[in-house]
């Protein structure tokens, strides 16, 4: 751990120039006393770091102390910098490791590439907290200790015990055979097998995890992209879902499809409107989604949904009727 901190300290001085002990302590999340001990250790090891006294003083590295990384062009260097801003590493407990790795790579770039890559990265914003409609994005938080335990079991090929809280149920321990980790829109998932059945667990619902000293019962190789796609299809088309037949203005198709679980069939009628067989998560989901389309959509089936939408329309019409 200390070796990593010493490397990070050197890289901070390389990239930012003169820094005070207090500033280094904030960046490294340690005490000022620890920074001073680390500076002394670096000097003893022959790293040319020295202190400048005075009002604007601090610790500085000799200008010629650097490494060089060749073979990368500008776009490749920029891609590495951008990678450090993605959320997947945080979800899997690798946030600090990724930040440290990117810092080391950027430091090792030739000076021209380092400056242009860092400058270009300042003009890119990846996954901000809110979108254009001011809807706040709430990324999931997974404790590093849990993420690390899950990650070790996945990579080592060991079985895993997780204390998992499924939706609407009390948490309980499960023993699974981990297959891989997936991140989708700031949500992390563990793909695993439980017995002969495929299982998908949301990492934010894992309350505790324990890697077991037992080999996982899983294939030696896996096509994770295909496995995720298959589970996604099963989720969208299985279970207690609600199927709806709707006639729709073609201009509203993408908006409706974006809110549905799946589209089972689609055809264009003689009047130019689309006839879609759409699947929603449940009755409430279907009712909410179709109400959003107002006059642009007409539900053909099921009848209970037509009745529900008629009731909503009648209540709204009565509420906003002009006074007599």
pTM over 0.85: no
The H or E element containing residue 147 is helix 144-156
Handedness of CA 40, 41, 44, 46 (dihedral sign): negative
Task: Select from 140, 235, 217 the least CA-distant residue to 179.
Answer: 217
Predicted pLDDT at 280: 86
Predicted pLDDT at 69: 47
CB contact at 8 A, 24 and 12: yes
Q: Residue 218, Cβ neighbours under 10 Å: how many? A: 18
DSSP strand pairing (58-61 vs 262-268): unpaired
Residue 2 tokens read as 């200390």
Predicted pLDDT at 142: 84
Predicted pLDDT at 174: 94
The H or E element containing residue 198 is strand 197-202
Predicted pLDDT at 74: 56
Predicted pLDDT at 298: 94
Distances in whole angstroms, Cα of residue 55 to Cα of each of 21, 40, 114, 177: 13, 21, 29, 59
Q: How far apart are the first and last CA of the chain?
A: 78
- Report how far residue 178's alpha carbon sits from residue 192's, in angstroms, rounded to the nearest whole number: 4
Q: What is the mean pLDDT of each run of 10 residues along the chain (324 residues)?
A: 70 82 88 88 80 81 61 57 56 61 63 60 57 58 87 91 87 94 81 89 92 91 82 66 91 87 87 91 88 91 94 93 86
- Report how far residue 137's alpha carbon sits from residue 129's, in angstroms, rounded to the nearest whole number: 5
Predicted pLDDT at 68: 47
My answer on whether omega of the bond before 253 falls inside 30° of 0, hence cis, is no
Predicted pLDDT at 222: 82
Question: Number of C-alpha atoms within 13 angstroms, CB side, residue 45?
Answer: 12
Q: How does DSSP classify residue 136?
A: B
Q: How does DSSP classify residue 119?
A: H
Predicted pLDDT at 129: 58
Predicted pLDDT at 113: 59
- Report how far residue 298's alpha carbon sits from residue 245's, in angstroms, rounded to the nearest whole number: 9
């Amino acid at each position: 751990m200390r070796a990593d901190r010493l490397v990070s300290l050197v890289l901070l001085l390389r990239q930012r120039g003169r820094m005070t002990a207090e500033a280094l302590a904030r960046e490294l999340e340690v005490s000022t006393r620890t920074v001073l001990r680390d500076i002394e250790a670096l000097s003893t090891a022959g790293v040319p770091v020295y202190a400048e006294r005075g009002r604007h003083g601090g610790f500085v590295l000799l200008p010629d102390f650097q490494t060089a990384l060749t073979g990368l062009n500008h776009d490749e260097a920029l891609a590495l910098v951008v990678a450090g801003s993605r959320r997947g590493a945080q979800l899997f407990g690798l946030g600090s490791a990724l930040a440290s790795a990117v810092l080391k790579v950027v430091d090792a770039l030739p000076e021209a590439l380092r400056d242009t890559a860092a400058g270009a990265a300042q003009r890119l914003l990846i996954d901000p907290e809110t979108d254009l409609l001011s809807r706040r994005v709430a990324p999931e938080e997974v404790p590093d200790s849990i993420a690390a335990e899950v990650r070790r079991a996945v990579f080592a090929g060991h079985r895993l015990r997780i204390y998992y809280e499924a939706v609407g149920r009390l948490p309980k321990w499960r023993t699974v055979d981990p297959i891989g980790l997936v991140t989708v829109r700031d949500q992390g998932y563990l793909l695993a097998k439980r017995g002969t059945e495929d299982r998908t667990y949301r990492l934010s619902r894992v309350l505790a995890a324990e890697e077991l000293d037992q080999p996982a019962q899983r294939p030696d190789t896996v096509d994770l992209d295909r496995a995720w796609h298959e589970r996604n299809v099963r989720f969208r088309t299985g279970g207690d879902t609600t199927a709806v037949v709707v006639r729709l203005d073609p201009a509203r198709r993408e908006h409706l499809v974006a809110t549905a679980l799946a589209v089972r069939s689609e055809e264009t009628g003689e009047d130019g409107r689309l006839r879609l067989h759409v699947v929603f998560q449940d009755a409430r989901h279907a009712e909410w989604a179709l109400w959003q389309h107002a006059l642009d959509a007409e539900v053909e089936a099921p009848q209970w949904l037509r009745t529900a939408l008629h009731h909503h329309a009648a209540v709204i019409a009565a509420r906003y009727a002009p006074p007599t």
